[in-house]
Structure 1
Amino acid sequence: MKSLTEREIRALIHLLGDDDIKTAQVARKTLIEARHDAEPFLEEARNSPDPHVRTRVYSILERIRLDELGQRFQRFCETPSAWIDLEEGVFLIAESGYPSLNRTHYRDMLDDMAREFRHRMDHQGLTKGRELIEAFNQYFFEDLGFAGNRDNYYDPDNSYINQVLDRRLGIPISLSAVYLLIARRLRIPVVGIGMPGHFLLQYNDSLFIDPFHKGRLLNRGECVQFLMNNGFGFHPAYLSPTPTRFMLVRMLTNLIQIYTNQDPERADSLTAFRDMLTQSYVKV
């Protein structure tokens, strides 16, 4: 597409407020295609006195931002599955909702949490076993205050790691992600277990940890009973470690389900991210 002049771009932005929805849609499509020329003028138009223009400019800028994030996400997805980094993945997902988040701030927060518990491990002589997990659960759920968001389970902020860290609230998989990122800094052997209907953690192939219920410890039989009681039946794969790639797929699926009615365009972008993860897996 040929470059647009400033005059042409401003005229298209003005047409975003047109009462004829088809005219506004043509203007929107053209501005998206001319994003590199149009973006500075779109940013300026955020303050337009026309509420229709403001709303549609915001939508265009959001689409441009998510497209650019999608290019970064595509490169991430092409990483071989064995090297997929959970921390990078959850921050990329969080950027879809919070583009200006400060990764350094949140990584420092995770480092500080790990460092504090490392002092406790050294002081108390904790190295492994149930005592170590019980102490870590005490620190994570009681001292740090992480908890399941029972009152507003479907709040999208429950799935963005920056918000989970700030509010200390989440859903099973996002709480598991934070737990894992701290545990990995401490070299505590914990993995994610993506059961149908619920996400758990497992320590050292023995203890199962329920992060949504304050780190309640479960044995294998109790996990099987949960599956049977909830109509899932049982298959050994249900209690196998979930690869990082598919943990991220599950996190995206949760957000897609939330946004399908609230914000269909965002849901479409997140669906594209999820497809990148699964398609890249097939190629790898």
Structure 2
Amino acid sequence: MTPRLQALDYLRRIGQTADDDIDLGEAALALAVLDHSTDLAPYRAHLAVMAADLGQLTAGKPDGLEDRVAALGRLLEKHGYQGDNETYEDLQNANLLRVIDRRRGLPVALGILVMAAARAQGWTVMGLNFPGHFLLRLDHAGGRQILDPFAGVAALGPRELREMLKQTAGLEAELTPDHYAPVSNREVLLRLQNNLKLRHLSADQPEKALAVIEDMLLFAPDHIGLWRESGLLNAHLGKLTAGIQAFETFLRIGQERGASAQLLDHTRNLLRQLRGRLN
């Protein structure tokens, strides 16, 4: 079986896996190999080396929250990772294989590397629901620290977070508890792939955007928003049968998940239109 077929099978199995059991590093490698089919063994070995290096950086040292933050920063520095400010929109920045090759990437890709190494030590670290810029939260000994993986795992306080929020959400935006809320492993992977989807849409490449959505549905098969996007893009591309199936799935899951009546009605109208075009 080729690396790509193995990755597809792995992602389908993730779709039926409890969120807490998802290995973020392995899942991100599987997503990356869909676009760059290659042997994953060297990349898995690199993640293992990073985890071992973090263990060495902290062995026999003080183990406070600040110490752990400093160790994560030293880990990225040791391996030469940095945020890609120069070519931020490059698709390679959201592909973990290319991120490892180039030692640069988007905040969420670098965040996955940090989380994989930290969790290998048993540390409690998670992604946050912060708009426009992926952030991490490290919990330890009753304390919490928000971190920016794009800036060498820099520690952020309320002032920095407020400034960052206003840059992405507008000058009137203010911090709310939602911005500090943790996201699931599956949501981290969705956020990673969403970067690819949006870049393809911006480049007027709906076929590629649809392919990314189909990959996302492998590991998030109950995500109603993705099914609706799949229906819209399939309809746009003239793939009427696939669009009908996607809208039908959206309606079934959406009714179970409490989607708004307005959205359900609008999708039913779209579905009727597609069926009319098919007939």
TM-score (norm 2): 0.69
Which of 217, 233, 257 is residue 155 of structure 2 equivalent to?
A: 217
Deviation at 1:234, TM superposition (A): 3.2
Whether the 8 Å CA contact 1:74–1:273 is kept in 2: the answer is no
Identical positions, percent? 24
Q: Find the counterpart in structure 1 of residue 48 from structure 2.
A: 111
Q: Which runs of 5+ in 1 are unaligned?
A: 1-64
- Give distance in 1, aligned partners of 2:162 and 2:138: 17
Is 1:191 equivalent to 2:126 in the alignment?
yes
Structure ID, larger Rg: 1
For residues 30-84 of structure 1, what are the alpha-carbon distances to aligned partners after superposition, in whole Å with 9 as ceiling and x for unaligned?
xxxxxxxxxxxxxxxxxxxxxxxxxxxxxxxxxxx98996565333212233333
Deviation at 1:214, TM superposition (A): 2.1
Whether the 8 Å CA contact 2:69–2:153 is kept in 1: the answer is no
Question: Aligned in 2, Cα 1:96/1:200: closer, same or farther, shift over 3 Å?
Answer: same
Question: Aligned in 2, Cα 1:132/1:72: closer, same or farther, shift over 3 Å?
Answer: closer
Q: What letter corresponds to residue 101 of structure 2 in structure 1?
A: D
Q: How does 1:23-34 map to 2 (within 5 A)?
A: none
Deviation at 1:274, TM superposition (A): 2.4
Q: How does 1:196-211 map to 2 (within 5 A)?
A: 196-204=131-139, 206-211=144-149
- Give distance in 1, aligned partners of 2:6 and 2:58: 43
SS of the residue corresponding to residue 199 of structure 1 reads coil
For residues 258-284 of structure 1, what are the alpha-carbon distances to aligned partners after superposition, in whole Å with 9 as ceiling and x for unaligned?
223375433211112224444435779
Q: Find the counterpart in structure 2 of residue 29 from structure 1.
A: none
SS of the residue corresponding to residue 195 of structure 2 reads helix
Q: What letter corresponds to residue 198 of structure 2 in structure 1?
A: Q
The runs of 4+ residues in structure 1 deviating greater than 3 Å are 65-72, 275-279, 281-284
- Give distance in 2, aligned partners of 1:212 and 1:72: 28
Q: Find the counterpart in structure 2 of residue 130 from structure 1.
A: 66
Q: Find the counterpart in structure 1 of residue 27 from structure 2.
A: 89
Question: Aligned in 2, Cα 1:162/1:281: closer, same or farther, shift over 3 Å?
Answer: same
Q: What letter corresponds to residue 111 of structure 1 in structure 2?
A: A
Give the stretch that moved more between structures: 185-194 or 164-173. 185-194
Q: How does 1:136-151 map to 2 (within 5 A)?
A: 136-140=72-76, 142-151=77-86
- Give distance in 2, aligned partners of 1:271 and 1:163: 20
Whether the 8 Å CA contact 1:81–1:281 is kept in 2: the answer is no
Q: What letter corresponds to residue 254 of structure 1 in structure 2?
A: N
Question: Aligned in 2, Cα 1:68/1:82: closer, same or farther, shift over 3 Å?
Answer: closer
Q: Find the counterpart in structure 1 of residue 189 from structure 2.
A: 248
Question: Aligned in 2, Cα 1:227/1:75: closer, same or farther, shift over 3 Å?
Answer: same
Is 1:76 equivalent to 2:9 in the alignment?
no
SS of the residue corresponding to residue 34 of structure 2 reads helix
- Give distance in 1, aligned partners of 2:55 and 2:9: 37
Whether the 8 Å CA contact 1:228–1:234 is kept in 2: the answer is no
- Give distance in 1, aligned partners of 2:42 and 2:6: 23
Whether the 8 Å CA contact 2:4–2:34 is kept in 1: the answer is yes
For residues 174-214 of structure 1, what are the alpha-carbon distances to aligned partners after superposition, in whole Å with 9 as ceiling and x for unaligned?
00011111111122222111311111111115111111122
TM-score (norm 1): 0.68
Which of 37, 58, 63 is residue 121 of structure 1 equivalent to?
A: 58
Question: Aligned in 2, Cα 1:112/1:73: closer, same or farther, shift over 3 Å?
Answer: closer
Question: Aligned in 2, Cα 1:67/1:268: closer, same or farther, shift over 3 Å?
Answer: farther
Q: Which runs of 5+ in 2 are unaligned?
A: 225-252, 258-279
Whether the 8 Å CA contact 2:13–2:219 is kept in 1: the answer is no
Is 1:173 equivalent to 2:173 in the alignment?
no
For residues 136-161 of structure 1, what are the alpha-carbon distances to aligned partners after superposition, in whole Å with 9 as ceiling and x for unaligned?
21231x22211011111111111111
Whether the 8 Å CA contact 2:108–2:134 is kept in 1: the answer is yes
Whether the 8 Å CA contact 1:256–1:270 is kept in 2: the answer is yes
Give the stretch that moved more between structures: 271-280 or 155-164. 271-280
Q: Find the counterpart in structure 2 of residue 270 from structure 1.
A: 212
C-alpha root-mean-square deviation of aligned residues, in Å?
Answer: 2.6
- Give distance in 1, aligned partners of 2:9 and 2:204: 24
For residues 83-140 of structure 1, what are the alpha-carbon distances to aligned partners after superposition, in whole Å with 9 as ceiling and x for unaligned?
333123202210121122x2221111111122123223124x1323202211321231
Equivalenced residue count is 217
Question: Aligned in 2, Cα 1:114/1:234: closer, same or farther, shift over 3 Å?
Answer: same
